[in-house]
Amino acid sequence: MKNKVFWKTLGGMLAVALWLAMASGCGIHNESANAKSSSSSPPSSKVIRIGYQKYGTLNMLKARGDLEKRLKKLGYTVQWALFPGGPQLLEAMNAGSLDFGHTGEAPPVFAQAAGTPLLYVATSPPNPVSEAILVKKDSSIQTVADLKGKKVALNKGSNVHYLLVQVLKKAGLTLSDIQPIYLPPADARAAFEQGSVDAWAIWDPFYAAAEKGGKARVLADGQGLVANREFFFASRSFAKREPELIQVLLEELKKVEQWANNDPKGVAEFLAPELGIDEQALETASRRHVYGIEPITNEVISQQQIIADEFHTLGLLPKKLMVKDAVWHDSR
């Protein structure tokens, strides 16, 4: 009899434990737990997840804190995520981890071809001199033609990927004439400084920092070859769900862009502690950058289509795509 009672009691305890585990996994809580959760943070539907890169306007917006103040009044909070480059940022958007972000001109065409549910919502003015192909100051490489057979470090699928294609084309070369070494900026810089690669395709502020170090020389920049625009994106689900918040984001970005254009030294002083990059290098990068928020016009779409078509011709995109299919239209 005692054994029967024991097993019955144990069975009941296990049943309760199992129910509690299931309840916890399904989000079922008691009233005090609910009260504590709601008082500490808003529900997940009120969180905006933004991806940013070092130095971009979104980085400035994050550092200033103005967006959080405005969105707090609307009942939203912001989750920021830092990425080493545009391709990595858009991979996160493809995985459903981001609502909003920014990249250069090449990453979105690769992402769109991969099925990333992105929408172009705005762009910046062209900044062709803010990216370059660097070689060591004492390198024997004097012209782009000298890159034949050499190792060139770059972030695959980034804006400098397209820059490299155009620079090589002008010199009568293709990507198959060099040895592309695909590395994110931090690893590429280390490889460049250690002499593991012969050249480095990179953008500001890493470009300016390398110049400031005195060990790099510009072989070619984007002037006359690329637009090098910055683009801002929303995920399709976020754009459909929160179109008014996209306008809020763009309004706050415009304020930051205006400040940055008027005060490049202030930008450098403000961002140096945030980025851990030399203030003088940041000022150099800021002074050669034109800030602004512009709409996605037919001209911008055409420029992006040219990039997409070129990468497809080179066999780097698996299929032909239409950029206009990924442009946001505010239908409110």
**For 63-84, what is each residue's pLDDT tens digit?**
899 999 999 999 999 999 999 8
Model pLDDT, residue 54: 84
pLDDT of 330 reads 80
Q: At the topology level of CATH, where does 128-221 sit?
A: D-Maltodextrin-Binding Protein; domain 2 (3.40.190)
How many CB atoms lie under 10 A from the CB of residue 215? 13
- Residue 1 pLDDT > 60: no
pTM for the whole thing?
Answer: 0.81
**Which tokens go with 127?**
């900044």
Q: Is 16 exposed, middle or buried (0-12, 13-18, 19+ CB in 10 A)?
A: exposed
> In whole angstroms, what is the distance from residue 255 CA to residue 253 CA?
5
**Per-residue confidence (pLDDT) for residue 310, from 0 to 100:** 94
Q: Quick: pLDDT tens for 90-143.
A: 999 999 999 999 999 999 999 999 999 999 999 999 999 999 999 999 999 999
State how far the alpha carbon of 327 is from the alpha carbons of 14, 122, 170, 257, in Å.
54, 9, 31, 22
The three-point CA angle 98-124-57 to 5° equals 55
3-state secondary structure of 71: helix
Q: What is the pLDDT of residue 144?
A: 98
pLDDT in tens, 247-295: 999 999 999 999 999 999 999 998 898 888 899 999 999 999 999 999 9
Q: Where in the chain is the domain with CATH 3.40.190.10?
A: 44-125+229-326, 128-221
The sign of the dihedral angle between the CA atoms of 188, 172, 221, 218 is: positive
Contacts for 50 with CB less than 8 Å, ≥ 6 apart = 58, 62, 78, 79, 80, 81, 98, 99, 100, 101
Going across the sheet that includes 151-154, the strands are: 179-182, 151-154, 199-203, 131-136, 216-221
CATH number of this structure's domain 44-125+229-326, picked from the four choices 3.20.20.10, 3.30.530.20, 3.40.190.10, 3.30.1330.30? 3.40.190.10
State the average pLDDT for the chain: 87
List, edge to edge, every strand of the sheet that includes 100-103: 77-83, 47-53, 100-103, 231-235, 118-123
Least confident window among 3-12, 20-29, 148-157, 205-214: 20-29
Q: What is the model's pLDDT at position 17?
A: 37
Q: Residue 31 has what pLDDT?
A: 29
Contact of 155 with 184, CB cutoff 8 Å: yes
